[in-house]
Chain A
């Protein structure tokens, strides 16, 4: 199977560790992955803010770049949701490649049939299911199923986990007061768990929650769950 990495613009620039983690996990499982260099951005920010015309060239670029692969994996619930949910409506020729685009946990659990990726991570971790992963992709507890197999991990439950953290793309900038109020509540719930690490499937939500946790010097680290799955306990 030809698996392509869609690393997403935010991950490429600010969170390369997540893409590196995805690469390591898949290679460890014996798969060959490809990173088509002509990829840019899925266009979600433009489309969701009301700039559909501006988003369209990115949509078409995605189809051009990825259409020849059997599976495309993205370590982002919201970008995957953009592609799977909105692409077929915005650009019908994207329907087939959209259906072959998976969030990491979907690829691992549903397509590759793996739940134990051979990871070790001796930390207390809590998991926030981000909105698009939860309600648009219906990831369910696939990421948790993967995390439960990690050796040494202690998973603790997050209260009101399914409530939005207040990021919402440009919402955080357009409605800073409401966004901050939601963030404050989310950070309080995270701190209440006593976890040292907060995991999620979306670095943009994590940047928002992590930024809030840092601001309050909570000592909780926000990481993409792929980075936990990539840890093997051995020095890398």
Chain B
């Protein structure tokens, strides 16, 4: 069987309902949120820096990771068919989904066929992307998140705000409050000690694991030559989900492929150090189809496109598909740290979200995201697979619809600046035109800056003074020598 023709764009939770600057506003004003994010990202990036520094061949590993992913992107159709053949031979059933709706339909049908009205979930970013929980609920099926942070977010009727730490925006007092309000079996005297919170969640989840007949998982890697799926995690909840239920449905983005089993050697070094700042993650689970008498006997893999083929078609933007969702770029991003994950409107926040979401949906649908960056480059430096995020941001800005007033101003400015004669005249004009203004303010306050300007310059003078043109430009000084 071959996979169907892919659609141009993806759907699901990858669109910004509000432009980024608008969505960021409340987060920037929320001092508690900013303090939570500041503390959490600083702690984890310091940890990451420490363990990365221990690895003498880190740069070579990054190159290797980047090269393997580039190879996958070059031969994706071929590798996907190889994966399908290997997984099928091992007893799994492979399904193909063009978009979010199709993927949801497949999972709902499989769950119904298993006769279940609830599922346990783990490691499921792809299912967040396709909005599976909502689809299951609409079909009368309850979905229970089992990842501690995902559980917190689910109980709080919230959405994740970080790839790895979906509840990064909460502190422990807020988590305790959510548990007491929404977790029926939480101890009455629950404290906000991390150990107590984890224990309450563990007891709560244990009952779920033992009763669930269907589990839904994601995967970090899908190995083409063996048909193996790999889940890398810290809590052990994944291991429970992947082994206890009778039916296992894994929802996997098509970009998760690796050509061979030995390629894991590279990625199992890159991922934990970049994401949690650990040398090795506590649990790595791998499964290949069905093993009679051991683990789930009914294994399904849903391979999701949802816009990925469109990304693949663009040679400049394509490396975004190399992302291994480590979240290192989020943790170093000064914009993410102030705006929080929700401002990106997508299940993929931070720098990777700013390049991936607009590519999945088409840039016009997420036009503010490529501008949600200062192009400072910190994300590119930490990315374990060397995705040149600033370069892709600039590339996407090129395709974004531009506001008419901005376009007009940029064109005029470009027209002036491309001619040395016009530019010299404009400099004279700017200098003499601003001269009286500057002289006035200088007489009054002794400062050669402006404090309040009308729109659109007010965006600048709201928080900083604006320097005035100097009394003499450089070229005038040069000419007088």
Query: Which of A46, A173, A175, A179 lies in contact with B456, CB distance below 8 A?
Result: A173
A-facing mask of B398-439, CB < 8 A → 1, else 0?
A: 111010001100110110011110011001001100000000
Interface residues of A in 1-37 (CB under 8 A from B): 7, 9, 11-17, 19-20, 23, 35, 37
Give bound CA distance, A169 to B371, whole Å.
11
Q: Indicate whether A40 reaches chain B with its CB closer than 8 angstroms.
A: yes
Interface residues of A in 131-152 (CB under 8 A from B): 131-132, 134-136
CB distance from B319 to the nearest CB of A (A): 15
The answer to whether A58 and B20 touch across the interface, beta carbons within 8 angstroms, is: no
Interface residues of A in 39-84 (CB under 8 A from B): 39-41, 43, 45-52, 54-55, 57-58, 61, 65
The answer to whether B419 and A40 touch across the interface, beta carbons within 8 angstroms, is: yes
Interface stretch of the complex, out of B174-182, B272-280, B466-474: B466-474
B-facing mask of A157-198, CB < 8 A → 1, else 0?
A: 000001110111111111111111111100000000000000
The answer to whether A177 and B25 touch across the interface, beta carbons within 8 angstroms, is: yes
The answer to whether B414 and A54 touch across the interface, beta carbons within 8 angstroms, is: yes
Q: Tell me what chain B mostly uses at the interface: helix, strand, loop, or mixed.
A: helix
The answer to whether B375 and A131 touch across the interface, beta carbons within 8 angstroms, is: yes
A-facing mask of B340-380, CB < 8 A → 1, else 0?
A: 00000000000000000000000000000011111111101
A41 neighbours in B (Cβ, 8 Å): 417, 423
The answer to whether B424 and A178 touch across the interface, beta carbons within 8 angstroms, is: no
Query: Which of B24, B430, B475 lies in contact with A35, CB distance below 8 A?
Result: B475
The answer to whether B371 and A178 touch across the interface, beta carbons within 8 angstroms, is: no
CB distance from A13 to the nearest CB of B (A): 5
A166 neighbours in B (Cβ, 8 Å): 334, 374
A7 neighbours in B (Cβ, 8 Å): 474-475
Give bound CA distance, A162 to B377, whole Å.
11
The answer to whether B334 and A182 touch across the interface, beta carbons within 8 angstroms, is: yes
Q: Which one of B334, B372, B410, B460 has the greatest number of beta carbons of chain A within 10 Å? A: B334
The answer to whether A168 and B418 touch across the interface, beta carbons within 8 angstroms, is: no
Q: Indicate whether B442 reaches chain A with its CB closer than 8 angstroms.
A: no
A184 neighbours in B (Cβ, 8 Å): 463
Q: Which residue of A lies closest to B24 (CB)?
A: A178
Interface stretch of the complex, out of A95-103, A105-113, A203-211: A203-211
A169 neighbours in B (Cβ, 8 Å): 374-375
Interface residues of B in 447-468 (CB under 8 A from A): 447, 449, 451, 456, 459-460, 462-468
A55 neighbours in B (Cβ, 8 Å): 414
CB distance from A156 to the nearest CB of B (A): 22
Query: Which of B418, B466, B467 lies in contact with A57, CB distance below 8 A?
Result: B418
Query: Which of B372, B373, B400, B460 lies in contact with A50, CB distance below 8 A?
Result: B400
CB distance from B397 to the nearest CB of A (A): 3
A14 neighbours in B (Cβ, 8 Å): 467-470
The answer to whether B375 and A48 touch across the interface, beta carbons within 8 angstroms, is: yes
CB distance from A21 to the nearest CB of B (A): 11
Q: Indicate whether A88 reaches chain B with its CB closer than 8 angstroms.
A: no
Query: Which of A16, A47, A132, A168 lies in contact with B477, CB distance below 8 A?
Result: A16
Q: Indicate whether A120 reaches chain B with its CB closer than 8 angstroms.
A: no
The answer to whether B414 and A183 touch across the interface, beta carbons within 8 angstroms, is: no
The answer to whether B473 and A16 touch across the interface, beta carbons within 8 angstroms, is: yes
Q: Which residue of A lies closest to B372 (CB)?
A: A175
B334 neighbours in A (Cβ, 8 Å): 163-164, 166, 182
B219 neighbours in A (Cβ, 8 Å): none
The answer to whether B397 and A177 touch across the interface, beta carbons within 8 angstroms, is: no
B431 neighbours in A (Cβ, 8 Å): 13
The answer to whether A214 and B464 touch across the interface, beta carbons within 8 angstroms, is: yes
Give bound CA distance, A181 to B25, whole Å.
10
The answer to whether B459 and A211 touch across the interface, beta carbons within 8 angstroms, is: no
CB distance from B449 to the nearest CB of A (A): 6
The answer to whether B447 and A214 touch across the interface, beta carbons within 8 angstroms, is: yes
Give bound CA distance, A14 to B28, whole Å.
31
Give bound CA distance, A58 to B422, whole Å.
13
CB distance from B30 to the nearest CB of A (A): 11
Instruction: Show 22 A/B contacts (Cβ-Cβ < 8 Å), sorted by A.
Output: A9-B417, A15-B467, A37-B478, A40-B417, A40-B418, A40-B423, A46-B413, A48-B394, A50-B398, A50-B400, A58-B417, A61-B420, A132-B375, A135-B377, A164-B334, A171-B371, A172-B459, A177-B28, A178-B28, A178-B372, A180-B28, A207-B464
A-to-B contact residues, CB < 8 Å: 7, 9, 11-17, 19-20, 23, 35, 37-41, 43, 45-52, 54-55, 57-58, 61, 65, 131-132, 134-136, 162-164, 166-184, 207-208, 210-212, 214-215
In order of increasing CB-CB distance, the 4 nearest A-B pairs are A168-B374, A211-B464, A50-B397, A57-B418
Given pairs A50-B370, A131-B376, A132-B375, 20 additional interface contacts (CB within 8 A): A13-B430, A17-B470, A41-B417, A46-B414, A48-B375, A49-B406, A50-B394, A50-B400, A57-B414, A131-B375, A164-B376, A176-B460, A176-B462, A178-B24, A178-B335, A182-B335, A184-B463, A210-B464, A211-B465, A212-B464
